[in-house]
Chains A and B, each alone.
Chain A
């Protein structure tokens, strides 16, 4: 099953696209696993995600921690700390 990844702000700019559908390989269970796998996909991902601790993540439009399991996620968004308000 394809998972939709969405990127915002400088994460989007560094990866070079606003979203994509990916087939997650076996063994990618948590958000932290996903970030690690994405970094291996090319230098643009490495550039965007080189400090994974600062990356905020939402699954199906709700904030989650990096230890969260991603099974059943339709939509996973990666973005920098928010600066609204």
Chain B
């Protein structure tokens, strides 16, 4: 059994470079057979949105994502895990969130990335506010019940 993997968790205003984050996990290693990345981007909703403003709870955002990442490492045989979530103003087409998971075989990396995103959606303390392209006041994005349900499905053991 390899030494426990320490996840990298970053909460930042600036954009990230997906290729650089993958390289950061895999460089100099020959034991990783699979890398899965998920990037979440800001949509413009058919031209209606000019930006999203992401508010977050400093301190808890890092702590909660760290807890979710630790849970993923406990459940799947991962060799590396990076999670980055931006805050502040994000424009359509820009990145919002990144999950990179690495493992020997693909299934663990796929499932861990999926799990991370489902839990981030419903438990990481971030809130999106819309900025409308026509200058009218935008509102807070409402949480989707489907996201809670997506997180709930992981309560069963993997593979059951």
Q: Which A residues are within 8 Å of any B CB, using their own CB?
A: 6, 8-10, 58, 61-63, 77, 79-85
Residue of B nearest to A77 (CB): B57
A82 touching B143, Cβ below 8 Å: yes
User: Chain B interface residue count: which class?
Assistant: 20 to 34
Q: Please, which residues of chain A bring their CB within 8 A of the CB of B120?
A: 84-85
In angstroms, how far is the closest chain B Cβ from the Cβ of A22?
19
B60 at the A/B interface (Cβ < 8 Å)? yes
B126 at the A/B interface (Cβ < 8 Å)? yes
The 4 closest A-B pairs by CB, nearest first: A84-B126, A81-B143, A9-B127, A61-B60
Q: Please, which residues of chain B bring their CB within 8 A of the CB of A83?
A: 121, 126-128, 140-143
Q: What separation, in Å, do the CA atoms of A63 and B148 have in the docked complex?
A: 15
Q: Please, which residues of chain A bring their CB within 8 A of the CB of B59?
A: 61
Q: Which of these, B57, B64, B117, contacts A85 with CB under 8 Å?
A: B117
A79 touching B127, Cβ below 8 Å: yes
A82 touching B140, Cβ below 8 Å: no
B10 at the A/B interface (Cβ < 8 Å)? no
- Starting from the known contacts A82-B123, A85-B40, 16 additional A-B residue pairs (CB-CB under 8 Å) come to A6-B57, A8-B125, A9-B129, A61-B64, A79-B57, A80-B127, A81-B143, A82-B122, A82-B126, A82-B143, A83-B128, A83-B140, A83-B142, A84-B120, A85-B85, A85-B120
